[in-house]
Amino acid sequence: MNHLIAPSFLAANFGNLEKEVTVINNSQADWIHLDIMDGVFVPNISFGFPVIQYVKKVSLKPLDVHLMIIDPDRYIKQFFEAGADILTVQYEACTHLHRTVNEIRNLGMKSGVALNPHTPVSLLKNILPYIDMVLIMTVNPGFGGQKFIMESYNKITELHSMINAGGYNVLIEVDGGVDIENAAKLIESGVNVLVAGSTIFSSDDPAETIHRLKYLI
């Protein structure tokens, strides 16, 4: 499978959100990545349901929604109603993870589980049969523009081996410090989905940057 590109709107210009969505619509991006932060699970606050609903209305791409919030179970149905196509929860925030990911799937969304940099991938062994994607955070979550954590390559390789050994149909997504320089190595390590924020939205030509990430040029 060819890898997917999911521009992260955490780095977009919210003063002209329709223009930013239009740029992505007209690009070779596959998804739009939306980070939801509550200021408790991570030390930052991003945006909520009205923004997701607006992006859904104008987007031609599926919405890849990542919840960096405590007690995500309270809001799963609301995120579905707001327009999430893929809903990813943090492993560290879910007391009853199996129940959470099953609820996500039962509503018709793809289910994902995200791991913070310090969380080992071995903890996912018993949940892989019930999810569609694992998101490896390659920076400490909360803020864009951080430096890529090099140890992430070992986590990706280990996770890729776990997925192959079990014969699971589970995508590997990475978010944090993804750029033109490390994209190819990430794909070689087993990544299926590249999330990039500052790299795309801070460039002079976001569509061209997406093209380069897509074709590793």
Residues marked as catalytic: 35, 175
Distance CA 196, CA 198 (A): 6
Distance CA 130, CA 105 (A): 9
Tell me the three state secondary structure of residue 193. strand
- Considering Cα of 8, then 198, then 37, then 140, what sign does the dihedral take? positive
CA dihedral 69, 104, 51, 13 (to 10 degrees): 70
Tell me the three state secondary structure of residue 162. helix
Is residue 142 within 8 A of residue 95, CB to CB? The reply is no
- Considering Cα of 121, then 127, then 128, then 132, what sign does the dihedral take? negative
